[in-house]
Structures are given as C-alpha cells and as structure tokens.
Amino acid sequence: WDSEDFQWSAALKQKMKSVFGISELRPMQLQTMNVTMSGKDCILIMPTGGGKSLCFQLPALLSKGVTLVVSPLVSLMEDQVIALENYNVDAVMLNASTDRNRVTAVQNAMTDKTATMKLLYVTPEKLAKSKRFMAKLEKMYAMGRFSRLVIDEVHCCSQWGHDFRPDYKFLGIMKRQFPEVPILGLTATATKNVIEDVKKILNIPVCTLFKASFNRPNLFYEIKQKSSEYKEAMDNIQQLIKRRFTNQSGIIYCLSRKESQDVTMDLQQRGIKTGCYHADLSGQERSRVHKLWLKDQIKVVVATTAFGMGIDKPNVRFVIHYSVSKSMENLYQESGRAGRDNQKSHCIVYYRLADIFRQSCMVFTEQTGLDNLYGIMAYCTDLTRCRRSVIAQHFGESWDRSHCKEMCDHCQNPVETEKKNVKQICQQLIEILNQASGLEERLTAIKLLDAYQGKKVGGFRVSGLNLAPVTRDVLERIIALMLIKGYLREDFHFTAYTTISYLLPGDKRSLLKCDSTTVLLECIQRQKSTKDNSKP
Ligand code: ADP
C-alpha cells in the first residue's frame, strides 16, 4: 500500500496541494488512503493530531458521491465542517439541533446527482434512530452515490474500550445493508482486544489495520519541579524562555482562563512578547492572537486547552505545561504541537502535587477522570523511567528505552534515586489521617504533608509518632504513589479542594499492615528485592 502508482495517485497529490496546501503526507496517510480508495475496509490507529482526518477528506474529494462520517462529538464535527468550508469543500453536518428545513435540504442533496456535497457528518444517534435517514442512505446507495463510511473514534463500538457509546453498536448493520461501501475506522487509542471486538461488531473480519507510532523522535520530554511560590515559578519560566528559547515560538498551557491571563500579563511585564488565548475571549481576539503568533510577531501564546484544533504552526520550539494536563492523551496531544517541522523541540511540564489536586476537583465528575489524572501524576513522579517509555506504555506500544536516544531528561541525565524503606512512612501517614479523623479534622494532601512535618493544621497536631525526618519532596512522592496505587483516596466535597482519606478494601489494608509495600518501594527506589514479594 506504500505505492504512488495507483490510478488515483496523481489526482491525490494534486488535490492535496491545491485544496489543503499540503505538500507531503505523514506516515500511514498514503497507505490508508490507498486502501480506502481501492474499496477495502481499513482501521487506522494514529495519535491525536497525527492527521487522521485527511485520510478520508482527501479521498472524499476524489470519489463520486458522498462520504458519510459518523462522529460522536458535535463540537469536533463543527470544527471540521468549518475548516472544510474554509478550504471550499462542500461539507455538511446533521445533528439533533439541525432545523427541519436544513435536514430536508441535506437529505435531498443525498440523492441528487447534481449536488456538490462531498462529506456528510452525522452523530451515531442519527443513524440509529432516524428511519427516514436510513431510507435515504439506501436510496443513495442504490444510486451509487454512497462512496465511503468513515467511523471516527471507532473504539466507541467496543464495550472494552474506555469510551463505549451504545449507539455505535448499531453501526454493525451498515456492512450488511451496504456491502459495497468501504468502511474506514479511525481511533487514537485502541488495544488489540478492542480492535478485534470492533472488527466483529462492524462485521469487517478482513480489514487492513494500520498503526502509526506514537513516538515523535524530535521531541525532548522533560519534567521540572514547579515552585510553590508564584514569583519563583515565573522567574524560572522567564529564564527558560529568554535563555534557552531565545527568539523562538512556543505555547504555554495553563489550567484555567484566569491562570492563563495572569501568566500572560506577567510575561508581558517581563518583556516577552506574549498573547493570551482562551474560550472567554472573542473569536476576533483569538484569531488576532493566533495570526500574530503565526507571523512570529508574538513569541508565546499562553492558553487553555481551547488553543488546539487547527493549530498547525510548523516551527513551535517549545510547549510548556505551566500546570499539568488532565490526562496522558491530553498531554501527548498538547505537547505534540511542538516540532511539526521535525526539528528538535522541547516539551516541558512544570509539576507540583498541589496542581494535581486542583485538577482532580475539575475531573472527578468524569467517569475515568481520576484514573487519567493519576496517569499524569505517575508520569511526573516516576524518577526511575525514561519518559518516552512511560508514554509508549500508556499507548500500548512496545518500547526499548535505548530508542529514546537521550531525548528525555531521564535518559540524558538519570537521577540517583533514593533508596529508602518507605513502609514506615506510609503507615505513619495513615496513622496521621486516623488521628485527624478522630478529632473530626479532614486533611487535604498539603495539610497532611504539613502535619507530617510537625506543623499545626487547623486544631490538630500529630502526637505520639516518632516521625522520621523526610524532605517534602520525598513525602510528596510517597503520597502521590499511595494515591496512584490506591492506598489513599481523595474525597470530594464540592469545594475547590479535596481531602485525603485512608479507605481501602480490606485486602489492601491488610497488605499494607503485613509488611507488603513492595509496589511502592519499586517506584521510589531501585532497590532490587525486599524480603516480601507479594503484590497487591
Ligand atoms: P487527528 O484527527 O489525527 O487528531 P487531524 O486530522 O485533526 O488529526 O490533523 C491535525 C493537524 O495536522 C491538522 O491541522 C491537519 O491540517 C494537519 N495535517 C494533517 N496531515 C498533514 C500533512 N500531511 N502535512 C501537514 N499537515 C497535516
């Protein structure tokens, strides 16, 4: 499928340039287009931002009739349709809020030989619930105008995936109803089991599978400890931008609109040409900032995650996370905006434990929110592993750390990890929580740290424990690990902070009591083996 010698190859190249202004394809794009253009079923696994959309948008322009795109998120569909309109491509969208007249017009175009509509985006509900729409599709098919079915976020078909959508199950009938229509499934996250399940559900047992690597060899990954003093944190960033990234373009991601405004003001006062970008600003202002940055008239955009879709500046030399992202997927995608031109670029996360708890209040209503956040915490706190191998493992890619080629802070400069038995500290932290709750005092993680260090928190001070002198940094790591491993739990109170409690299923509780903190030990130190090898 690597060939450029198909009947559509010349037209493909020409449209790619003339319509999208793209001169070279990225890995797996050509192969995917060749498979789908030849009428075969295909699933493409590619990281977000990798360029999946082009793999059906370009074939849509070369094919007779209409490409039907099923996508679960209305906002993403809107973004794509607007982007396509800007390229003068006739793309439309139908969702629950499309008005009647519009629906009728679109449905008429589906079976009108003279219509120019190339891409039709719909939600899965539309397919599952509108008999009228299905009847139209049948007519379109009979006329030979149903050129391709694209299923975005195809992992949503499978209950084993992380984002199952019941309406996606309905897509199984499409292959039976429209056997001649090639299916193209797209996803960024999919394990082997999920893909096998998806193939079964969609009735496409023989389908070509492409997987683009998650590795971006030109990106240098780095974690920095963020100071709890705002001024010190900003001093650090200022120096970084002025010294290491002199006159270079970058993005700084913040947690909130307010934070992005504060950081913008601060950097401007420090003489760095900076613009701010978040969802509360007018479309006009956002577009102004984006354009100035594209033209290198401002160097840095400080933004929330709203700065994302459609950002495709090739020479972004650094992406700094002033505050951590809410998941590894988000982090990967946001930092992946660096180095699109394949030149060496830096992805730096400023980490401190308190930021995790600021985030957890925001994500705890999402079903997998906390798991995702703790994934990030693991990435930031693990001193023992190559950053790339953590990313690769997260995306289910096999990885040898020698492949990193010293392109992360760990491989370039491995830290001496502290060899310390932390079992006692874990138990003492739990004892502190017990003492506090006995006095009706609820502790946040930060207060737990303070209490361990002998400070009075609220009306409470630790008593009767022979606490070892441990640095705050080590204590933070231990608390992070206890949360990741499920020894501690965050409790939410609909306030801006969470408190910590020790509430575990009996087996874990007893494991901790019976001298089995091996898992914790492995991560904090590289000590070979302890006497006790049992794992929770
Ligand atoms: P995905 O759907 O995989 O998350 P997109 O399709 O949204 O990614 O593509 C991300 C960005 O990359 C878009 O701005 C798109 O225009 C751009 N892009 C895609 N393919 C190429 C290419 N071959 N060369 C340059 N830019 C590309």
> Does this complex have an ipTM over 0.90?
yes
The Å distance, Cα 262 to ligand 1 centre, comes to 31
Phi, psi of 252 (to 5 degrees): -120, 120
Q: Is 19 exposed, middle or buried (0-12, 13-18, 19+ CB in 10 A)?
A: middle
C-alpha–C-alpha distance, residues 32 and 1, integer Å: 8
Give the sign of the dihedral formed by CA 120, CA 123, CA 124, CA 130: negative
CB crowding 381-411: b at 16 or more within 10 Å, else e: bbbebbbbbbbbebbeeebeeeebeebbbbb
Query: Which residue owns the Cα nearest ligand 1 atom 12?
Result: 51
Per-residue pLDDT in tens (0 to 9) along the chain, 536 residues: 999 999 999 999 999 999 999 988 988 999 999 999 999 999 999 987 788 999 999 999 999 999 999 998 887 888 889 889 999 999 999 988 889 999 999 999 999 999 999 999 999 988 888 889 999 999 999 999 999 999 999 998 988 766 788 889 889 999 999 999 999 999 987 678 889 999 999 999 999 999 988 899 999 999 999 998 999 999 999 999 999 999 999 999 999 999 999 999 999 999 999 999 999 999 899 989 999 999 999 999 999 988 876 677 889 999 999 999 988 888 988 999 999 888 999 999 999 988 888 888 777 777 677 788 888 998 998 888 899 999 988 888 888 888 899 999 999 988 776 556 677 888 888 889 888 888 888 888 888 999 999 999 888 899 888 888 888 888 888 888 888 877 788 877 666 666 766 654 444 444 344 333 333 443 333 333 333 333 33
The Å distance, Cα 195 to ligand 1 centre, comes to 23
Dihedral class, residue 44 (left if φ above 0, else alpha if ψ from -120 to 50, else beta): beta
In angstroms, how far is the first alpha carbon of the chain from the final one?
46
Q: State the pTM of this model.
A: 0.75
Can you read off the two tokens belonging to residue 426?
A: 């874990």
Q: Which atom of ligand 1 is nearest to the CA of 53?
A: 6
Query: Which residue owns the Cα nearest ligand 1 atom 14?
Result: 310
Strands (E), 268-332: 274-277, 300-303, 316-321
Residue type, 168: Y
Query: Which residue owns the Cα nearest ligand 1 atom 13?
Result: 310
Pairing of strands 489-492, 498-501: antiparallel
Name the 3-class secondary structure at 360.
helix
Q: Is the minimum distance from the CB of 53 to ligand 1 under 6 angstroms?
A: yes
C-alpha–C-alpha distance, residues 119 and 145, integer Å: 12
C-alpha–C-alpha distance, residues 366 and 459, integer Å: 34
C-alpha–C-alpha distance, residues 438 and 390, integer Å: 39
Between the CA of residue 3 and those of 19, 33, 34, what are the distances in Å? 22, 11, 8
The Å distance, Cα 297 to ligand 1 centre, comes to 24
Can you read off the two tokens belonging to residue 118?
A: 């190339």
Helix 423-438 and helix 445-452: axis angle, to 10°? 110
DSSP symbol at 403? G
CB crowding 45-65: b at 16 or more within 10 Å, else e: bbbbbbbbbbbbbbbbbebeb
Query: Which residue owns the Cα nearest ligand 1 atom 27?
Result: 51
- Write out the DSSP string of 57-82: HHHHHHSSSEEEEE-S-HHHHHHHHH
Can you read off the two tokens belonging to residue 309?
A: 């879709």
C-alpha–C-alpha distance, residues 494 and 141, integer Å: 52
Q: Is the minimum distance from the CB of 312 to ligand 1 under 6 angstroms?
A: yes
Can you read off the two tokens belonging to residue 192?
A: 């082997």
The set of residues, in sequence order, having a beta carbon less than 8 Å from that of 530 and lying 6+ positions away, is: 421, 518, 521
Three-state SS for 425-488 is: HHHHHHHHHHHHHHCCCCCCHHHHHHHHCCCCECCECCCCCCCCCCCHHHHHHHHHHHHHCCCC
Q: Is the minimum distance from the CB of 48 to ligand 1 under 6 angstroms?
A: yes
Can you read off the two tokens belonging to residue 480?
A: 């992070």
Can you read off the two tokens belonging to residue 400?
A: 């040898």
Q: Is the minimum distance from the CB of 136 to ligand 1 under 6 angstroms?
A: no
pLDDT of residue 419: 58
Name the 3-class secondary structure at 240.
helix
Can you read off the two tokens belonging to residue 221?
A: 């990954």
Q: Which atom of ligand 1 is nearest to the CA of 312?
A: 14
Give the sign of the dihedral formed by CA 151, CA 37, CA 329, CA 526: positive
C-alpha–C-alpha distance, residues 350 and 178, integer Å: 51
Q: Is the minimum distance from the CB of 336 to ligand 1 under 6 angstroms?
A: no
- Write out the DSSP string of 288-306: HHHHHHHTTSSSEEEE-TT
C-alpha–C-alpha distance, residues 421 and 174, integer Å: 58
Q: Is the minimum distance from the CB of 161 to ligand 1 under 6 angstroms?
A: no
Site to substitute for ligand 1 among 28, 30, 53, most atoms within 8 A of C-beta: 53
CB crowding 175-208: b at 16 or more within 10 Å, else e: beebeebbbbbbbbbbbeebbebbbebbbbeebb
The Å distance, Cα 347 to ligand 1 centre, comes to 19
Q: Determine how many CB atoms are found less than 10 A away from the CB of residue 432.
A: 24
User: Among 362, 326, 325, which Cα is nearest to 347's?
Assistant: 325
Residues 203/176, Cβ–Cβ less than 8 Å = yes
Helix or strand holding residue 20 (H, E):
helix 9-20
Q: Which atom of ligand 1 is nearest to the CA of 80?
A: 7
> Of how many residues is the chain composed?
536
Query: Which residue owns the Cα nearest ligand 1 atom 20?
Result: 51
